[in-house]
């Protein structure tokens, strides 16, 4: 079972494409052997994708979160609304490819290993599922919906991600920001999202599973932070 480090601070193929990214702290020497093997596995997959048939690649879905409570919870029709905006992604994450960081400054888009569905849609759906299943008060007393209910007045949550990637030290990395606004548009709370989740094996399937675990943990923590900031409902009082 993967262990995810989570920080969510609060304040009131063809040739892969490479990008530069700000330098990150180097890992300790003791970790480089294991993580060097991971990087070699990812790079090998990318090389095979460029030199052989498309069968060497793959299309991946984020792992489904198990949230039995989401289907069982009933919320009154007159309950206050929390509207969840589509998760916003950095432009380099919008191309449909899995992305991994090969050193402190270089990001590579996999050419034959792709997301099977729109990444923004998958992330937004899973976030909605987790918020609906959260037992945290008063969040559990809110109607939670995506922006298809535009026109109704409610609190609004926005999330943006600047990293949703694998990294050369053998971890998946998710970083971003969230902001919660009240019915009147004022900022109720905002904060940072950061998860670091070790990969359990080499290759893209392990990367996808690690990213899925990181997003699950981020969603659970975000639900708790939102619950602290939302106005209490009559039922939760």
Identify the pLDDT of residue 49. Answer: 36
Could you report the per-residue pLDDT of 155-210, keeping only the tens digit for each?
999 999 999 999 999 999 999 999 999 999 999 999 999 999 999 999 999 999 99
Asked if the structure places residue 15 within a domain, the reply is yes
Q: What is the mean pLDDT of residues 80-87?
A: 94
Asked if the structure places residue 56 within a domain, the reply is no
Q: Is the peptide bond before 223 cis (omega within 30 degrees of 0)?
A: no
CATH code (residue 92): 3.40.50.10610
How many domains, in total, are found in the chain? 1
Asked if the structure places residue 67 within a domain, the reply is no
Asked if the structure places residue 58 within a domain, the reply is no
Asked if the structure places residue 160 within a domain, the reply is yes
Could you report the per-residue pLDDT of 112-126, keeping only the tens digit for each?
999 999 999 999 999
Strands (E), 25-153: 58-60, 81-84, 88-89, 97-101, 106-115, 143-146
Asked if the structure places residue 116 within a domain, the reply is yes
Domain holding 171, by residue range, is 5-22+32-50+80-229
Determine the Cα–Cα distance for residues 41 and 201; give it in Å rounded to an integer. 9
At 5, is the pLDDT very low, low, confident or very high (cuts 50, 70, 90)? low
Identify the pLDDT of residue 27. Answer: 35
Q: Rounded to an integer, what is the distance from CA 48 to the centroid of its chain?
A: 28
Asked if the structure places residue 16 within a domain, the reply is yes
Asked if the structure places residue 36 within a domain, the reply is yes
The pair phi, psi for residue 189, each rounded to 5°, is -165, 160
Residue with the bigger pLDDT between 15 and 186: it is: 186
**Per-residue pLDDT at 65 exceeds 80:** no
Identify the pLDDT of residue 53. Answer: 31
Write down the pTM of the prediction: 0.78
Q: What is the mean pLDDT of the chain?
A: 80
């Amino acid at each position: 079972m993967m262990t995810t480090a989570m920080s969510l601070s609060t304040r009131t193929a063809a040739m892969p494409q490479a990008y530069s990214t700000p330098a990150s702290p180097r890992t300790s020497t003791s970790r480089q052997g294991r993580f060097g093997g991971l990087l070699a596995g990812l790079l090998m997959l990318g090389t095979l994708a460029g030199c052989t048939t498309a069968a060497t690649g793959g299309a991946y879905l984020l792992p489904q979160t198990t949230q039995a409570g989401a289907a069982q919870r009933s919320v009154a029709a007159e309950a206050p609304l929390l509207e969840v905006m589509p998760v916003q992604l950095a432009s380099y994450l919008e191309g449909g490819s899995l992305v991994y960081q090969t050193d402190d400054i270089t990001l590579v888009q996999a050419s034959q290993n792709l997301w099977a569905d729109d990444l923004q849609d998958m992330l937004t759906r899973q976030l909605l599922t987790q918020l609906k299943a959260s037992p945290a008060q008063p969040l559990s007393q809110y109607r939670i919906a995506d922006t298809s209910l535009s026109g109704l007045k409610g609190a609004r949550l926005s999330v943006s991600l600047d990293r949703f990637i694998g990294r050369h030290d053998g971890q998946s990395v998710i970083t971003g920001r969230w902001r919660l606004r009240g019915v009147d548009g004022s900022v109720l709370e905002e904060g940072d999202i950061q998860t670091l989740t070790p990969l359990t094996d080499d290759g893209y399937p392990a990367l996808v599973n690690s990213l899925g675990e990181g997003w699950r943990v981020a969603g659970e923590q975000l639900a708790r932070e939102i619950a602290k900031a939302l106005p209490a409902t009559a039922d939760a009082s």
